[in-house]
Amino acid sequence: MKFNKYYASALLAFIIWGFFSLALKPLHDYPSLDILFYRVFFSTTFLLVINFAFRINLLKKSLELFQSFSKKKKQNAVLLTTAGGFLLVFNWFLFMYAVNHVSLQSASLAYLICPIITTVLAFIILKEKLDNWQWVAVAICVISCMILSYGHATELMYSFVIATSFALYLISQRRNNEFDKFLVLTIQLVIASLVLLPFYSKFSATVPTESLFYMMMGLIVVLFTIIPLYLNLFALKGMNSSAVGILMYTNPMINFLLALFYFKENIQFSQLIAYSLIGISILIFNKKVLF
């Protein structure tokens, strides 16, 4: 594993997501589900406009490429892209449900468990190889997650389901490398919008009228949704799912540092130990890149 454009893309994606709370905090008075609805709908609209306004030639070439595939290859491309869309919206919906109806602890634990599940599933399904030091890093991550989840069995169950859905997304998209990633992301968000649309009329609150909501939503759509998702998909063209998964720990590490130093939240000693272990595991897993 080398530090190249794929590694840099994955790292940048998770660094960006690590600061997501800065955009969400100003919207704390709005229902989480509404934020999800508008995030997906606005992102989909934005991507469709870009593709049909500026990328028509690429769309035509992509269609020609798809038509040149064998029947089996077409089925695989459709299956992987469609599965990616469903897994994305399923993951986001479960995350918002956990925040609203279970606990913030369960949502936070999901980000910590996901890299471990991704690494193990990539080893089993994709036959990705890890050296001994990388398995040591995974073991340290497991210990840190056990520390954080101690006494929270229900939260751990929800965290496991949320984490597994995103791990499966990463693994499925590792094999979905035939088409332009911007186009793949557009199709997946269209699917996500179609899945959420029937729920909008029943579960959405009144349409927001405050300019702050739309300003922050614009930031969330571009900076915290489209850009990092595209970087993530691009990284999977040249990196193992397990390596991308471990870099995901950059996200909760930044969240933890923001909570500690920016939001001035109370931090338990066990959390300091657990996040210190996570930091060590990231260094060990990426030692060939860093040293």
Query: How much of the chain, in percent, has pLDDT values that exceed 70?
Result: 95
Q: What is the pLDDT of residues 183-236, one digit of tens each?
A: 999 999 999 999 999 989 888 988 999 999 999 999 999 999 999 999 999 999
Highest mean pLDDT: which range of 39-43, 103-107, 108-112, 260-264: 39-43
pLDDT at residue 39, rounded to an integer: 93
Quick one: pLDDT at residue 106?
67
Mean pLDDT of 33-50: 94
Region 90-107 average pLDDT: 73
CB atoms within 10 A of CB 90: 18
152 pLDDT higher than 90:
no
The 10s digit of each residue's pLDDT in 7-36 is: 999 999 999 998 988 888 888 888 888 989
Q: Give the predicted TM-score (pTM) of the model.
A: 0.85
At 154 the pLDDT is 74
Q: How confident is the model at residue 105 (pLDDT cuts 50, 70, 90)?
A: low
Mean pLDDT of 63-83: 92
The pLDDT of residue 42: 97
- Residues 6 or more apart whose CB falls under 8 angstroms from that of 150 comprise 270
